[in-house]
Amino acid sequence: MTQLQINEVAPRDGFQIEATFVPTAAKIRLIDALSATGLARIEATSFVSPKAVPALADAAEVVAGITRRPGVGITVLVPNLKGAERALAAGVDEINLVMSASDSHGLANLRMTSAQSLEQLAAIVEAVRAHPQGRELFINASLSTSFGCPFEGAVAEARVLALVERQLALGVQGVTLCDTTGMANPAQVARLCEAAQARFPGIPFTLHFHNTRGMGLANALAAWQAGITRFDASLGGLGGCPYAPGATGNVCTEDLVHMFEQMGVATGVDLDALLAASATLPELVGHETPGQVVKAGKADRRYPMPAR
């Protein structure tokens, strides 16, 4: 059975919406601790405008400060050409471009329609490949609202697949299908995962779920049953979407790892080390996290018999 590849996104997708600025040294310590757990990949930060996302204004310092470990890919979110140049200068293993499958989410989040985003993706890929440090860089693209848009509603599977085809034609090497606001259900996940893999064999698809409506792990299960082995997840379940207030965040890394390890599906991750890292989050962000295994303990936890 193929080992899962978990891409930890809390340092980017989690911290970007926190009210508290997590100090650069603490970010570096956390990423180093995460690297030591055996995660396949860490999305360390975003080379976004510091004005747009002050929480990640220290992107270059973070990438420069972390300890690189063989086998742990460091990726960063790159929202535009300027971000790509900063990422190339910083030196990373992978970049993650981003666009929305729905025009209204693209306009709200990136001020671009899907068509405009594709033009920008083309320009970024071209610039990266022309750069001496960019020739071998792995280029991934995340496709937000692949399972539905909080403004438009349903996003047709045919539209999602057509956008993936365009991304790949531009030179994108891997695609992350994102359930940005937790609208996906397991039946839909199975359908889209099967269709994407059938149409684009050999392309590494990553699935990105949110637990907004409690279906995060059920959707991950459905994706895995459909042959997906790459998942985004966020330590402690940090993250979320500003357009879905009151909702919990991304699918929680340690809860995801726990479920699959309990099922006998190898993740390569040291769950105890991951839980220890998660336990440091409340002090960093100033609030409890939605993760459940960090509170309840692993399924093999034993309790003493109550005295009667």
- Which residues are catalytically annotated? 241
User: Residue 302 is encoded by which pair of tokens?
Assistant: 């034993």
User: Residue 229 is encoded by which pair of tokens?
Assistant: 């082995």
CA distance 61 to 47: 11
Q: Is 1 exposed, middle or buried (0-12, 13-18, 19+ CB in 10 A)?
A: exposed
CA distance 57 to 119: 26
CA distance 161 to 10: 27
Cβ-based nearer residue to its own copies, 169 or 296: 296
User: Least separation, in Å, of the C-beta of 157 and its own copies?
Assistant: 15
Could you tell me which of 133, 11, 134, 142 has the C-alpha nearest to residue 72? 11
User: Residue 211 is encoded by which pair of tokens?
Assistant: 């637990």
> Which runs of consecutive H residues, i.e. helices, occur in 150-301?
157-169, 186-199, 216-225, 253-262, 271-279, 281-285, 293-296
User: Least separation, in Å, of the C-beta of 289 and its own copies?
Assistant: 12
Chain positions 215 to 254 lying near its own copies, rule: CB under 8 A, are 215-218, 220-222, 242-244, 246-248, 252
CA distance 35 to 234: 14
CA distance 293 to 253: 10
Among 115, 263, 266, 287, indicate the residue that binds its own copies (CB under 8 A). 263
CA distance 229 to 159: 23
Cβ-based nearer residue to its own copies, 25 or 52: 52
Chain positions 156 to 185 lying near its own copies, rule: CB under 8 A, are 182-185
145 binds its own copies (CB under 8 A): no
Among 193, 259, 269, 275, indicate the residue that binds its own copies (CB under 8 A). 259
For the window 86-115, what string marks contact with its own copies as x by the rule CB under 8 A?
------------------x--xx--x----
2 binds its own copies (CB under 8 A): no
CA dihedral over 80, 82, 84, 87, signed as positive or negative: negative
150 binds its own copies (CB under 8 A): yes
276 binds its own copies (CB under 8 A): no
Bridge partners for 13 per DSSP: none
User: Least separation, in Å, of the C-beta of 150 and its own copies?
Assistant: 5
269 binds its own copies (CB under 8 A): no
Q: Total residues contacting its own copies (rule CB under 8 A)?
A: 56
Task: Return the range that interacts with its own copies (CB under 8 A); candidates 32-40, 41-49, 121-129, 261-269.
Answer: 261-269
306 binds its own copies (CB under 8 A): yes
| Residues near its own copies (CB under 8 A) | 104, 107-108, 111, 148, 150-153, 182-188, 211-218, 220-222, 242-244, 246-248, 252, 255, 258-259, 262-265, 291-293, 295-296, 298-306, 308
